[in-house]
Amino acid sequence: MKTFRYIVKGRVQGVGYRFHVGSELREIGAKGYIRNLDDGDVEVLVQIKEEKLPDVEKYIEKGSPYGRVKEVKKSTLEMEECSSFDMRY
């Protein structure tokens, strides 16, 4: 299973972004994590079947109703499979 890493920039901390996006990703069966970064960005690491990838990216780009996503940077990683989807603090 491929692992995708997203760095989300914009107004994404303190607006419920992690909770909102994390809940949606859990719902569709993603594994990995979402966490705030010290620079104000959010990192999302996702492992999911490729046919569900458009849904993942839709949720990441939409974000929270109280925030605003300005930019999303995506990369692909090679790593062991995660066992769950976690919201890290």
Domain that holds residue 19: 3-79
18 catalytic? Reply is yes
Q: Please check whether residue 84 lies inside any domain of the structure.
A: no
Residue 41 lies in a domain: yes
| Catalytic residue list contains 68 | no
Catalytic residue among 5, 26, 35, 36, which?
36
Out of 11, 18, 26, 68, pick the active-site residue. Answer: 18
Domain with residue 62: its CATH number is 3.30.70.100
For residue 55, tell me if it sits in a domain. yes
Number of domains the chain contains: 1
Question: pLDDT tens-digit profile of 54-83?
Answer: 999 999 999 999 999 999 999 999 889 999
On whether residue 50 sits in a domain, the answer given is yes
For 11, the 3-state DSSP assignment is: strand
pLDDT, tens digit (0-9, with 9 covering 90-100), for 8-32:
999 999 999 999 999 999 999 999 9
Q: What is the 3-state secondary structure (H, E, C) of 23-78?
A: HHHHHCCCEEEEEECCCCCEEEEEECCHHHHHHHHHHHHHCCCCCEEEEEEEEEEC
